[in-house]
Amino acid sequence: KEDLPVYNLEDISSHATRDKRIWVTYKEGVYDITNFIDTHPGGDQILLAAGSSVEPFWLLYSIHENPHVYKILESYRIGNLNKDECNNLTKDMTDPYFNEPKRHNALKPASKKPFNAELPPELLIQSFITPNELFYVRNHLPVPDLKAETYELEIEIEGVKKTKSFRLEDLKKLPKKTITATIMCAGNRRSDMIKHKPVKGLNWGPAAIGTATWTGVPLRDVLISAGLKEDDDKFKHVQFEGGDSDVTGKMYGASIPIWRALDKRGDVLLAYEMNGVPIPRDHGFPIRVIVPGVVGARNVKWLEKITVSDKESDSHWQQNDYKGFSPSTDWDTVDFTKSPAIQELPVISAICQPSEGSTVKVEQDKITVKGYAWSGGGHKIVRVDVTVDGGKSWHVANFEHQDAALPPQHWAWTIWTVKIPVDKKSKNVEIWAKAVDSSYNTQPESVENIWNLRGVLSNAYHKVKVNLKR
């Protein structure tokens, strides 16, 4: 390292385009990252650092504070930054996470900046409705601090010059609706995929999911009152932007197909209450979109803008993330334009009690197993099968709590439980669970054959190894 050439800031800023090659600094290191750009899991945002330091961006995305990231970076090292300049550069950096809400200690962080956390699985299924303080949090950026009094939602219908805006009180005056819906992150149960082969993404267990009642105004009514004609087929998508932005001011964004936004039975809400109280800051205060049956990523929090368009959202999270791929696709071959954005999620289940590695009491030669099952698109769970002998005998679980709503409006999860006989001599067992939904779709058996480089849609049979105590 010491033998490498020394550069000053001017040298570095003159390498900010592909034809001049792209250099960045990190602490005293100088790196030529031109050849890494196309395989960067965070997309072309990496170019924001071209010709300067990556540090302010890594304060924003602390996922980079990780040995495997430093190892990649070091492999591109070409030199060292002049000492004096190095000290000046980092002096004035401030933490973009200075104003985060307080979180409950029971939420176990998968990353702190941005804040991402889930409950221990045993706690998750103690109640059908997840208390707000214990609801998993999935943030990509610092939490904005929006104020009810000054809040405004802007609605643009493409081609119509004048945009319309709604204050919080305007929205609250419109007829309201309450639904019970489960929200799940596409990365839920990613840890099972990681066990098979590493992926790039947060190491979520089975608790990146939660259920709440959501109260708000149907998006459909708001769009119509903003001037959208229901039978206008020019438009294909409804785009959402959140109030959380990165260092360049680019907002979190996503979109859903317009038919879903306009479908009376789609129940898409601009929600202002979660479990009967104003939505907490972490979950989108004062307004978030609830798109029941659809992947968490489209349920945009801190909603500030809606655009009715013929195009999908161009946000990173719609275009270059939250998509599925073949197990053989890797970061060198992946082409994000070739897969559609995830919308409805496939059927999934998880064993929450006992949890992986724990010890269970055998009572009358049986163990009690408890978990959840859920399916996207408004499908209902019709059966959950559980085995402790690798599928030689399956036991059908009882539904401890299931919402009465009929498909295709069955938005909430099912909590299930089953007592299963275990072999008298065995000291440990592997429990498997799989669910079947109202379309008779079921879960794939092995994680190997659905593995993908981003670790999304991890819905293989849930398999949990536990010790037995008599």
- Which range binds ligand MTE by CB under 6 A, 4-12, 230-238, 261-269, 297-305? 297-305
Report if residue 297 touches ligand MTE, rule: CB under 6 A.
Answer: yes
C-alpha to C-alpha distance for 90 and 95, rounded to whole angstroms: 12
Is residue 185 annotated as part of the catalytic site, yes or no? yes
- Using CB under 6 A as the binding rule, whether residue 254 contacts ligand HEM is answered as no
Active-site entry in 136, 185, 372, 461: 185
**Stretch of 32-40, 327-335, 380-388, 435-443 lying at the interface with ligand HEM (CB under 6 A):** 32-40
Q: Which two tokens stand for residue 383?
A: 């059966």
- Hey, how many other C-beta atoms are within 10 angstroms of the C-beta on 87? 11
194 vs 456, which CB is nearer to ligand MTE? 456
Q: Which of 12, 33, 254, 453 binds ligand HEM (CB under 6 A)?
A: 33
322 in active site: yes
Query: Which one, 139 or 414, has the nearer CB to ligand MTE?
Result: 139
Q: Is 72 in the site for ligand HEM (CB under 6 A)?
A: yes
Q: 253 vs 296, which CB is nearer to Mo ion? A: 296
Interface size with ligand HEM, residues (CB under 6 A): 21
Q: Is the dihedral of CA 135, 129, 405, 394 positive or negative?
A: positive
- The amino acid at residue 369 is V
Q: Which of 299, 387, 452, 459 binds ligand MTE (CB under 6 A)?
A: 299
Site string for ligand HEM, 155-194 (x = CB under 6 A): ----------------------------------------
Minimum distance between the CB of residue 287 and ligand MTE, rounded to whole angstroms?
11
Report whether 222 contacts 155 (CB < 8 A): yes
Q: Does 379 bind Mo ion (CB under 5 A)?
A: no
Residues 6+ apart with CB under 8 A from 257: 236, 237, 238, 343
Tell me which residue has tokens 């161009």.
314
Contact assessment for residue 146 and residue 336, using Cβ atoms and an 8 Å cutoff: no
Pick what 54 binds: ligand HEM, Mo ion, ligand MTE, none; C-beta below 5 to 8 Å, kind-dependent: ligand HEM
Q: Is 46 in the site for ligand HEM (CB under 6 A)?
A: yes
Which residue, 182 or 315, is less far from ligand HEM as judged by CB? 315
DSSP string covering 111-145: ETTTTEEE--HHHHTT-SSPPGGGS-EE-SSPPP-
DSSP code string of 269-314: EEEEEETTEEPPGGGTTT-EEE-TTB-GGGS-SSEEEEEEESS---
| Kind and range of the H or E run holding 58 | helix 55-60
Window 103-162: residues binding Mo ion (CB under 5 A): 138
Counting contacts by CB under 6 A, is residue 54 touching ligand HEM? yes
- Single out the residue of 244, 246, 312, 403 in contact with ligand MTE (rule: CB under 6 A): 244
Whether residue 311 contacts residue 237, with contact meaning beta carbons closer than 8 Å, is answered with: yes
Among residues 190, 299, 216, the alpha carbon closest in space to that of 255 is found at 299
CB-wise, 130 or 387, nearer to ligand MTE? 130
Q: Which is nearer to ligand MTE, 51 or 293 (CB)?
A: 293
Q: Select which of 15, 86, 136, 138 is catalytic.
A: 138
* Closest alpha carbon to 236 in 207, 212, 258, 220: 258
Is 31 a residue of the active site?
no
Gap between the Cα atoms of 219 and 289, Å rounded:
8
Residue 138: active-site member: yes
Question: Judged by CB under 6 A, does residue 200 bind ligand HEM?
Answer: yes
In angstroms, the CA 232 to CA 288 distance is 25
**Whole-angstrom distance, CA of residue 437 vs CA of residue 237:** 27
135 part of the interface to ligand MTE, by CB under 6 A: yes
Residue 57: partners with Cβ closer than 8 Å, 6 or more residues away: 45, 48, 49, 64, 247
Ramachandran region of residue 155, left (φ > 0), alpha (ψ -120 to 50) or beta? beta
Q: Rank residues 61 and 413 by Cβ distance to ligand HEM and give the closer one.
A: 61
Query: Which are the catalytic amino acids?
Result: 40, 64, 138, 185, 322
Q: By the criterion CB under 6 A, which residues form the site for ligand HEM?
A: 24, 33, 36, 40-42, 45-46, 48-49, 54, 57, 61, 63-64, 69, 72-73, 140, 200-201
Q: By the criterion CB under 6 A, which residues form the site for ligand MTE?
A: 135-141, 183, 185, 242, 244, 252, 283, 296-297, 299-302
